[in-house]
Amino acid sequence: MAGQGESGDRAAAGGGRMSRRSGAMRDEVIAFKRERILEEAAAAFYEHGYQGTTLEAVATRLGVTKPFIYYHFRNKAEILSEICRRGITEAVAALDAAQAGEGTPDQRLAAAIEAITRTVLEQQAYTAIYFREEKNYPADDAVELNRRRKAFDHKLSALLEEGVAAGVFEIEDVRLTALAIGGMISWAFTWYNPRGRLSTAEICRRMAGLVLRMVRRPE
C-alpha cells in the first residue's frame, strides 16, 4: 500500500521524465500528503480527543487506508508531536522577528502580539491539542515542547524588559506580566469562533491594544 502511494507520487510528478523537477514535485506531493494527514488528525483529535481517536478514523476521513498513514508517520504519537510543535514554533518565531525588527518597543510588541494571536486563531485545533494533550506527549517530545514554551516566556520577557529600559513601558513584574500576556492570547483557542462577531485581523488588533494598555508607561 505504501508502494502504491509511492508510484502515485511518481505519476503525479510526470513519471520521472524531467528528473530535477519531478524530484521537487515528488517532495512537494509528500509534503502535501503529510500536511493533509496532520490536518485531518488535528480535526479528529480536536473533536474527540487524542485517546478517543484511532488512526483508522483518521484514514477514513482522508479516504485512505491505515498503511498510507504509516508510510508518512511512525505512529499516532509522532502525529501528535508534529501538531503540537507547530503553534509554539510559530509563536517563538514571531517573538524573534519582533526582537530583530525595526520600530519602537511598543510597535514591535504590538506586531508580535498580533502575529502570535493570528497563529492561535488560525491554528485553533493545533493550539487546543497542544495544551489539552500535554499528558499524551511522548516523553522525549515533552521535554522539547516544554523547552520551547520556556523560550517563549523568556523572549516575551526580554521584549518587555527592552521597553522598560527604553522608558516606554512601566511594569511591576516582567515575568508575571509575560505569563499573563501568554495566557490572554493562548486562551483564545477556547473561545474563538471563525464565524463570530469580529474578524481575525480585528481580534489581533484589539488584543495588541489590550496588551499595550497593560504595559505602557502612563503619560
What residue ranges bind a copy of itself (CB under 8 A)? 47-49, 51-52, 131-136, 153, 172-173, 175-177, 179-188, 190-191, 197-198, 203, 206-207, 209-210, 213-215, 218-219
Residue linked to cell 521524465:
17
Nearest-approach distance from CB 130 to a copy of itself, in angstroms: 11
Nearest-approach distance from CB 206 to a copy of itself, in angstroms: 5
The smaller minimum CB distance to a copy of itself, of residues 21 and 150, is found at 150
The smaller minimum CB distance to a copy of itself, of residues 17 and 197, is found at 197
23 HSE (CA, 13 A, CB side): 2
Nearest-approach distance from CB 118 to a copy of itself, in angstroms: 15
Q: Are 96 and 47 in contact (CB under 8 A)?
A: no
Query: Rounded CA gap, 124 and 17, in Å?
Result: 41
Q: Are 83 and 129 in contact (CB under 8 A)?
A: yes
Q: Quick one: which of 59, 178, 34 has its CA closest to 116? A: 178
Nearest-approach distance from CB 53 to a copy of itself, in angstroms: 10
Alpha helices in the chain (DSSP H): 2-12, 19-48, 55-62, 66-72, 76-100, 105-122, 124-132, 139-165, 174-186, 188-191, 200-215
Residue 197 Cα to chain centre, angstroms: 23
Using only C-alpha atoms, the chain has a radius of gyration, in whole angstroms, of 21
Query: Rounded CA gap, 49 and 51, in Å?
Result: 6
The smaller minimum CB distance to a copy of itself, of residues 13 and 174, is found at 174
The smaller minimum CB distance to a copy of itself, of residues 25 and 168, is found at 168
The smaller minimum CB distance to a copy of itself, of residues 58 and 64, is found at 58
SS3 197: coil
Residue linked to cell 515575568:
175
Nearest-approach distance from CB 49 to a copy of itself, in angstroms: 4
The smaller minimum CB distance to a copy of itself, of residues 91 and 207, is found at 207
